[in-house]
Amino acid sequence: MIEDIPSATAFGVCAMRAFEDRKEPAIRICEDSYAMKFLELNPKFSGSNWLARNIFVPGRKKLREIAFHLLLPGLQESIATRSRYIDDVLQRHLRRGIKQLVILGAGFDTRPYRIQAVQEQQVKTFEVDHPATQKFKQMAMGKMLKQIPEHVEFVSVDFEKEKFGPKLLQQGYNPKLKTLFIWEGVVMYIGQEAIDETLDFIVSHSTAESSVIFDYYPQSVIQGDHPNPVARRIQRQVKKAGEPFTFGINPEQITPFLKERGFVEVKPVNLEKTQQQYLKDNWKKRKSVDFALIVEAKVGSSDLKCRTRRFAP
């Protein structure tokens, strides 16, 4: 991303969540009442302002068809399904007693503020992100909430230039507590070294039964030669925005990739199929892209960590 400027792709994803939040309940996949406010508070992001000024105005629904269905059919559905699925995973882990939540590359993620159980249980939450995006996020949340909740801690870090682990530890992360790491919409934008270092930190600084969930694209999307034209268009657009795709991994490789790095109970998910669970009879009208993938995995035992750890903590 461009230095000192909040992530353009983070605003783009936020715009899609804002649009989804305005849909009628029968076809709404996810909810995020904060998303629209982020767009309204950023006058420099012309794309989001265009959405804010036009796409939600009654009588202008055809703009949606042009912007999303015609140019990038299925992309919004994949973003909305991803958000909803991770929400559900977080709710499940909250019921199972996690004590910490780490959101890597948090962007405009609002789970610490809109998911009631996080607030009620006062789950210590660490939002880790680039300083420029995080600065805007803190300003915006401050205006929306008046006061940032005490259970939320902001950790500023550039994944490509810095190791997030030491900063996370400095700001109170406790390796002895059961933790869920959410890594949404990030992996495809960073290099393998940064990915390996992040996964290694999770394995070597978490208790067994802690988990990570993240989304990823196949290598063909990153290279720009995926058979789906939407994948090729997205690849060109993020490159033009100065935030090109960097890392991809094919679905048949993801389980051995994570097990080699000390994770167990790897659960790959295809968001196109998962979407059917949320839309039920309406899913044929709103189909997600076929290349959006997600995976959840648990941290293994101490013995397994010692055998598989690739980098020193």
- Tokens 């068809």 belong to residue: 65
- Position 24 scores a pLDDT of 86
Task: State whether the Cα torsion 107-305-268-296 is positive or negative.
Answer: negative
- The CATH number of whichever domain residue 104 belongs to comes to 3.40.50.150
With residue 40 as reference, give the H or E element that holds it.
helix 35-40
Strand intervals (E) in 8-139: 100-104, 124-129
Q: Is residue 110 part of a domain?
A: yes
Domain coverage including residue 179: 73-308
Q: Which pTM value belongs to this model?
A: 0.89
Does the residue 63 lie in any domain?
no
Both structure tokens of 60: 């202008």
Report the domain count for the chain.
1
* Position 227 in a domain: yes
* Mean pLDDT in order along the chain per 10 residues (313 residues): 72 87 88 91 57 48 56 88 97 96 96 95 96 93 91 90 91 96 95 93 95 97 95 91 93 96 95 86 80 95 51 33
pLDDT digits (tens, 9 = 90+) for 19-48: 889 888 888 999 999 998 998 887 665 444
The pLDDT, as a whole number, for residue 303 is 58
Residue 94 forms part of a structural domain: yes
Q: Is residue 171 part of a domain?
A: yes
Joined together, the tokens standing for residue 23 give 């849909």
**HSE of 5 in the Cβ direction (CA atoms, 13 Å)?**
13
Whether the Cβ atoms of residue 267 and residue 296 lie closer than 8 Å to each other: yes
- Tell me if 81 is assigned to some domain: yes
Residue-level pLDDT at 39: 84
Question: Does any domain span residue 145?
Answer: yes
Report yes or no on 8 lying in a domain: no
pLDDT at 298: 97
Q: Which two tokens stand for residue 30?
A: 């996810």
Q: Read off the amino acid at residue 167.
A: K
